[in-house]
Amino acid sequence: MLKSNVLPADTYVVMNKTILSEQDRKTVIMLYQPIIGSVAVSLYLTFWSYLDRNELFSLEWTHHHLMTNMGLKLDDIIEAREKLEGIGLIKTYLKKDHIHNFVYELYSPLSPAEFIGNPILSVTLYNNVGKKEYEKVTSYFKTPRVSLKEYEDITCMFSDVFDTTSKTIIEAEDGTYKQKNKRDLSLISKIDLSSILGLLPEEYLNIRSVTKETKDLIYKLAFIYHLDDDSLLDIIRNSISEKRTIDKKLLRDHARKYYEFEHSGKLPSIIYKNQPEYLRKPVGDTSKRAKAIYTFETVSPYIFLSSKYKGGKPPKSELLILEYLAVDLDLKPGVINVLVDYILKINSSKLTKNFAITIAAQFKKAGIETVEDAMQLAEKEYKTRKHVKDTKVQKAGIKPEWFDKNVKKENVKEEEKEELEKMLEGFR
């Protein structure tokens, strides 16, 4: 994925790649908004409103105009745009120059049936709004069932009404015509589906019956429920019907039940995976500290915590702490990485929930969003804790190692600096 810093003076054009209707507007507001938020939906509708009368193109605007029109900071607009990209409502193209030019392509939302049938979107919507609201929202899009058993179908066919005749010949023209276009969710799968299916005997599962649609469903279930190859193999094995095909409904049910069992009845939600681009430190600095910042910014909290286990899987209790920090406290991923690293350093390599909540609340109250600010606060707290600890030692009558030594003031500062840098040794 190509990313680029956006400046207020950079221009953009909105291009419509689909046919949008009032039904699409309701779908975006009622189904998508609980997942991506009101700011992202507002940006999508704003782009839509900029289209010309034919709903094809917009005029060229600057991002400063967009900031003024929406009353938002550019950082908020960029984050909202990325959410629209991730969920499949827009695509972004960039032409670099002294003033960058962007093209934002609009795509239709999935139909209500497609949205509710998508395991990632439906589960996330359910988790975000709750059971009662989910049932209320989805029932809005249901069509009433009318029994036609007592009726006879007397509809005419085309050939019953129309005939052909020799008149002017119309040649087929090349060109692209307006049509409804949608983007599916793009995922990078971590499972080896071919190997998984290869472990199932042919007499047990007809491999040729596993369609692209079924594979797509498996990939989405693996993503939303964090399934690895072993757990997915068991779920698929238990979802095979008597006809040697994968029963999609059973597949969904077993995947959901597996996750609920592993997470005490909770369902998963979507969180921002890595530190947002606009909150990252500009590249160019090659210092050790800059390298540590880059590490915190470019890995997800799950990968970061896994690195502490030398590639092994962290315990479920610690993964639930990450989920709490990201979902309940809404901390940025890079900030979570700094917080986790800090806790492990000062708490004997133990990540406990109560300790994490205490430190996280302090980060939250301070309004910390960037890795650099998080590191500065962690270093400040580390100094404070060390000072308090040293003070208690002195009051107890215990002489520290340096008590009788003649240490110059500037040397003490340098030693403190080296000690703080040791906190980041694992990321250089």
How high is the pLDDT of residue 414? 56
Report yes or no on 335 lying in a domain. Answer: yes
Question: Which phi and psi angles does 58 have, rounded to 5°?
Answer: -110, 170
Look at the block and give the residue holding tokens 């019953």. 160
Report yes or no on 57 lying in a domain. Answer: yes
Q: What is the mean pLDDT of the chain?
A: 84
Place 428 in a pLDDT band, splitting at 50, 70 and 90.
very low
Contact 260, 123 (CB under 8 A): no
Task: Tell me which amino acid residue 164 is.
Answer: T
Report yes or no on 224 lying in a domain. Answer: yes
Mean predicted confidence (pLDDT) in 376-405: 65
How high is the pLDDT of residue 412? 45
288 and 412 belong to one structural domain? yes
3-state helix, strand, coil in the chain (%, to 5): 55, 5, 40
52 and 129 belong to one structural domain? no
Counting residues of the chain whose pLDDT is more than 90, the rounded percentage is: 40
Min mean pLDDT across 121-125, 151-155, 283-287, 314-318 is at 283-287
Question: Which phi and psi angles does 314 have, rounded to 5°?
Answer: -65, 155
Contact 107, 18 (CB under 8 A): yes
How high is the pLDDT of residue 280? 76
Task: Tell me which amino acid residue 29 is.
Answer: I
The SS3 assignment for 58 reads strand
119 and 207 belong to one structural domain? yes
Question: What digits encode the pLDDT tens for the residues 8-29?
Answer: 999 999 999 999 999 999 999 9
348 and 395 belong to one structural domain? yes
Mean predicted confidence (pLDDT) in 277-295: 78
284 and 222 belong to one structural domain? no
Report yes or no on 382 lying in a domain. Answer: yes
Mean predicted confidence (pLDDT) in 297-311: 82
Structural domains counted in the chain: 3
Mean predicted confidence (pLDDT) in 226-244: 92
Q: Is the dihedral of CA 229, 82, 299, 270 positive or negative?
A: negative
| Alpha-carbon span 367 to 380, nearest angstrom | 15
Report yes or no on 155 lying in a domain. Answer: no
124 and 265 belong to one structural domain? yes
How high is the pLDDT of residue 318? 87
293 and 304 belong to one structural domain? yes
Mean predicted confidence (pLDDT) in 321-338: 85
89 and 209 belong to one structural domain? no
Q: In the chain, how many H helices and how many E strands?
A: 20, 4
Q: Which of 87, 104, 93 is nearest to 28 (CA)?
A: 87
Look at the block and give the residue holding tokens 């707290």. 381
Place 4 in a pLDDT band, splitting at 50, 70 and 90.
low
Contact 45, 135 (CB under 8 A): no
67 has pLDDT over 90: yes
Mean predicted confidence (pLDDT) in 345-354: 87
95 and 136 belong to one structural domain? no
Question: What digits encode the pLDDT tens for the residues 111-120?
Answer: 999 999 999 9
Q: Which of 331, 341, 342 is nearest to 370 (CA)?
A: 331
75-88: buried (b, 16+ CB within 10 Å) or exposed (e) per residue?
A: ebbbbbbbbbbbbb
90 and 128 belong to one structural domain? no
How high is the pLDDT of residue 417? 52
398 has pLDDT over 50: yes
25 and 97 belong to one structural domain? yes
What CATH number corresponds to the domain at position 66?
1.10.10.10
Mean predicted confidence (pLDDT) in 184-196: 84
Report yes or no on 165 lying in a domain. Answer: no
Residue 382 lies in domain: 277-427
126 and 204 belong to one structural domain? yes
| Alpha-carbon span 87 to 103, nearest angstrom | 18
Report yes or no on 348 lying in a domain. Answer: yes
Report yes or no on 52 lying in a domain. Answer: yes
Question: Which phi and psi angles does 303 have, rounded to 5°?
Answer: -65, -40
The last residue of one of the domains, among 236, 270, 304, is: 270
Greater pLDDT, 223 or 31: 31
Mean predicted confidence (pLDDT) in 259-266: 80
Question: What digits encode the pLDDT tens for the residues 167-178?
Answer: 665 565 666 777
How high is the pLDDT of residue 163? 80
Q: Count how many residues are written for the chain.
A: 428
420 has pLDDT over 70: no
Counting residues of the chain whose pLDDT is more than 70, the rounded percentage is: 84
Mean predicted confidence (pLDDT) in 224-230: 88
Burial class (CB in 10 A: 0-12, 13-18, 19+), 169: exposed
